[in-house]
């Protein structure tokens, strides 16, 4: 436990002083927060046109929007779709951190003295994983909270606001997001134990974003119905992937290879 | 304290097998400062990594402090300290934060106390809150040494502690290592610096893939070159005299070899006889007596010492041949 705590503290202290990582952790989520808030604002000011309304009709089949007028529905739909973006935060932030936390140590050659200490591989990975995951989850929750605050003021009605605290979003934020974070961290760990350049690690890690992008685009185009069931199913899939990746990650994290293959 | 039996490490490199360490048999005693000498690529770092349980041996066995490598790795790692080839500090953290982290990782009881102790010992206390990244090479090296000592390891591995340091910084580090002697710690020192090895080490192992020779620096010298006495004589009247002297010395039963060195320059007119023999302390008086009996004027008598460099180079050369 001491080792775990000390390592996490070090990771965070180091992170705070690494400008690039720090900006990714702080600014990317804030940017993602800005988009749905802007949506709310714009939809409130600009009344929807005919074409939008036709489109809307299709989407309104989702019972969550039942009984809303055009402005309300437009706000609810657009902002909800943008909320899917929030699910990318727990991906991007930890991938970046995890990539830096192992490849970075390889590059500065601080990994060797670290591995020389009596710490088990599992504990080392747990500490590094936690240090990378926690800020990602925290930022997601903070942004969700900030979004709700903004929505309180910008929502056209109570009914619109209710959409954002619907159980499906609670599932998304509190079940799917943490599970996605674990996924991202493990991908970061696996990738960075194989490559030698943090940027390469980051880019490869970003590949895991693609399935989520698909969910996002699908939701935008109305192919995927956003509801609790979709999020539970996604959570289930991600959980399975997590288990596989944790297994793979610990197996692949071989001290010796990581230490001697960097030349 | 450290023992290896047929220790090997092979790497696969471009489909070829590189034998970095190939059958190392070694024994280092408790409390000893052992110099591990070898050219670039000899496998010194690889050996240290195996002994510190960072990489697994390909073959053979090794024990550190009675524990077998590969069996009790965590216990071994808790007892050894290692100064790696590169200091590998966390450059964005302060000197103190660097040390505190490692004190925690090594489960040190009195973290604050140990960190302060070593920061002070290594003269870094005043810079304790400065980022390690801003340190000079010498300070980084000292900080890395402090980091290796926090948990008071019984074995300390130092992989080229003074390479890449300027002479002054190197001297500081060397002096510090000297103070670690005689504290009961076993020190395994990899180095290229022969002078350093000579001054710090009780015994020296010359190594390239395997051990070429191991002994105290003096014994290695003796083994290779035997012992040699140099007698400086005032110039005799005629050269014939010198030849006669040399012949007489050569005839002594315990003398193995004699060479004559004529005066090298005008300032110095001594003739020197370099005499290889078994036991200078016992034989020198006999030689001097004999020379004086032959009418020679003996000015000085001293022992010819080969530098460790001569020993090292000659060992490596004979190993290649
Ligand atoms: N991971 C690796 N893969 C392939 N070959 C390696 C690897 N690590 C070391 N070697 C090879 O093993 C040999 C020994 O290397 P090592 O670093 O142990 O030497 P060294 O004695 O420490 O040298 P130096 O004095 O330069 O530090 C070298 O030929 C090196 O190229
Ligand atoms: Mg080396």
| Contact list, B91 vs chain A (CB under 8 Å) | 108
Q: Which residues pair with B37 in a beta bridge?
A: B191, B206
Domain final position from B187, B215, B243: B215
Lowest mean pLDDT among A225-234, B50-59, B116-125: A225-234
Task: Find the mean pLDDT for residues A184-207.
Answer: 73
Q: Is residue B314 part of a domain?
A: no
Same domain, B45 and B169: yes
Domain final position from B215, B237, B260: B215
Work out whether the CA dihedral B290, B291, B295, B301 comes out positive or negative. negative
Exposure letters B133-142 (e unless 16+ CB within 10 A, then b):
eebeebbbbb
CATH of the domain at B112: 3.40.50.300
Same domain, B112 and B203: yes
DSSP letter at B236 equals P
Same domain, B211 and B230: no
Q: Is residue B220 part of a domain?
A: no
Same domain, B244 and B109: no
pLDDT at res. B161: 93
What domain range includes position B208? 2-215
Q: Is residue B174 part of a domain?
A: yes
pLDDT at res. B61: 95
Task: Find the mean pLDDT for residues B260-277.
Answer: 79
Query: For residues B234, B238, B239 and B243, what is the CA-based torsion angle, rounded to 10 degrees?
Result: -80
Supply the pTM of this predicted model: 0.81
CATH of the domain at B293: 3.30.70.100
Asked whether residue A165 carries a pLDDT value surpassing 50, the answer given is: yes
Task: Find the mean pLDDT for residues A104-133.
Answer: 88
Ligand 1 centroid – CA B53 distance (Å)? 16
Give the one of A5, A116, A256 whose C-beta lies nearest to B82's C-beta.
A116
A10–B contact, CB cutoff 8 A? yes
Closest by alpha carbon to A26, among A101, A96, A126?
A96
Number of other CB atoms surrounding residue B168 within 10 Å: 9
DSSP letter at A173 equals I
Same domain, B170 and B259: no
Q: What values do phi and psi take at A9, rounded to 5?
A: -60, -45
Do B145 and B69 meet the contact criterion of CB atoms below 8 Å apart?
A: no
Ligand 1 centroid – CA B42 distance (Å)? 7
Ligand 2 centroid – CA B160 distance (Å)? 7
| Contact list, B147 vs chain A (CB under 8 Å) | 113
pLDDT at res. B157: 96
- B21-55 tens-digit pLDDT: 999 999 999 999 999 998 888 999 999 999 999 99
Closest by alpha carbon to B51, among B168, B152, B189?
B189
Same domain, B106 and B236: no
Q: At what angle do helices A177-194 and A89-108 cross, to 10 degrees?
A: 30
Task: Find the mean pLDDT for residues B81-86.
Answer: 94
Pocket flag, ligand 1, residue B193 (CB < 6 Å): no
Rounded CA gap, B86 and B210, in Å?
24
Q: At what angle do helices A121-154 and A19-45 cross, to 10 degrees?
A: 30
Q: For the complex shown, is ipTM > 0.90? A: no
CB contact under 8 A, B56 and A109: no
pLDDT at res. B214: 87
Rounded CA gap, B37 and B40, in Å?
10
pLDDT at res. B115: 96
- A58-116 tens-digit pLDDT: 666 667 776 677 777 777 777 777 777 777 777 777 777 777 777 788 888 898 999 99
Lowest mean pLDDT among A174-178, A259-263, B247-251: A259-263
Distances (CA, A) of A227 to A18, A51, A182: 39, 25, 23
More confident residue, B284 or B308: B284
Residues 6+ apart with CB under 8 A from B258: B246, B249, B250, B273, B274, B275, B276
DSSP letter at A30 equals H
Same domain, B182 and B277: no
More confident residue, A106 or A194: A106
Closest ligand 1 atom, CA of B9?
Answer: 12
Same domain, B243 and B180: no
Same domain, B205 and B239: no
Asked whether residue B240 carries a pLDDT value surpassing 60, the answer given is: no
| Burial (CB count <10 Å: 0-12, 13-18, 19+), residue A75 | buried
What total of structural domains would you count in chain B?
2
Domain ranges of chain A: 2-260
């Amino acid at each position: 436990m001491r080792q775990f705590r000390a390592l996490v503290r070090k990771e965070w202290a180091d992170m705070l002083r690494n400008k690039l990582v720090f900006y990714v952790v702080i600014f990317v989520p804030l940017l993602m927060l800005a988009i749905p808030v802007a949506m709310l604002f714009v939809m409130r000011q600009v009344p929807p046109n005919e074409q939008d309304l036709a489109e809307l009709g299709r989407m309104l089949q989702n019972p969550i929007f039942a009984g809303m007028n055009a402005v309300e529905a437009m706000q609810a739909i657009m902002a909800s779709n943008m909320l899917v973006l929030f699910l990318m935060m727990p991906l991007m932030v930890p991938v970046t951190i995890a990539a830096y936390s192992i490849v970075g140590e390889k590059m500065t050659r601080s990994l060797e003295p670290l591995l020389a200490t009596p710490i088990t591989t599992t504990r080392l990975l747990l500490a590094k994983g936690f240090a990378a995951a926690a800020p990602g989850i925290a930022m997601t929750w903070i942004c969700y909270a900030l979004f709700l605050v903004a929505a309180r003021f910008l929502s056209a009605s109570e009914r619109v606001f209710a959409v954002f605290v619907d159980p499906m979003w609670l599932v998304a934020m509190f079940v799917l997001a943490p599970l996605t974070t674990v996924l991202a961290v493990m991908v970061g760990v696996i990738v960075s134990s194989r490559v030698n350049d943090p940027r390469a690690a980051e880019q490869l890690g970003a590949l895991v974003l693609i399935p989520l992008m698909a969910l996002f685009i699908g939701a935008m185009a109305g192919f995927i119905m956003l509801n609790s069931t979709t999020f539970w199913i996604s959570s289930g899939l991600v959980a399975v992937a997590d288990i596989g990746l944790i297994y793979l990650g610990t197996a692949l994290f071989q001290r010796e290879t990581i230490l001697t293959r960097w030349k | 304290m450290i023992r290896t039996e047929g220790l090997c490490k092979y790497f696969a490199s471009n489909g070829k097998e590189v034998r970095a360490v190939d059958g190392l048999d070694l024994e280092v005693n408790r409390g000893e400062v052992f110099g591990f000498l070898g050219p670039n690529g000899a496998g010194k770092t690889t050996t240290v990594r195996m002994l510190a349980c960072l990489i697994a041996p390909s073959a053979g066995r090794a024990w550190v402090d009675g524990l077998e490598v590969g069996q009790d790795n965590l216990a071994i790692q808790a007892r050894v300290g290692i100064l790696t080839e590169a200091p590998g500090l966390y450059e964005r953290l302060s000197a103190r934060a660097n040390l505190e982290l490692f004190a925690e990782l090594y489960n040190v009881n009195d973290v604050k106390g140990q960190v302060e102790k070593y920061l002070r010992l290594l003269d870094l206390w005043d810079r304790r809150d400065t980022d390690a990244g801003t340190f000079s090479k010498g300070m980084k090296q000292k900080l890395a040494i402090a980091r290796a000592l926090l948990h008071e390891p019984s074995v300390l591995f130092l992989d080229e502690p003074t390479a890449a340091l300027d002479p002054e910084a190197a001297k500081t580090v060397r002096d510090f290592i000297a103070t670690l002697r005689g504290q009961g710690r076993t020190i395994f020192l990899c180095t290229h610096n022969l002078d350093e090895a000579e001054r710090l080490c009780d015994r020296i192992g010359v190594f390239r893939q395997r051990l070429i020779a191991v002994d105290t620096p003096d014994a290695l010298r003796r083994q290779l070159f035997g012992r040699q006495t140099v007698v400086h004589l005032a110039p005799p009247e005629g050269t014939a005299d010198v030849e006669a002297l040399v012949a007489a010395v050569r005839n002594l039963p315990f003398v193995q070899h004699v060479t004559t060195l004529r005066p090298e320059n005008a300032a110095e007119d001594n003739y020197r006889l370099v005499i290889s023999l078994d036991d200078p302390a016992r034989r020198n008086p006999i030689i001097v007596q004999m020379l004086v009996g032959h009418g020679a004027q003996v000015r000085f008598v001293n022992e010819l010492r080969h530098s460790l460099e001569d020993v090292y180079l000659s060992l490596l050369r004979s190993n290649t041949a």
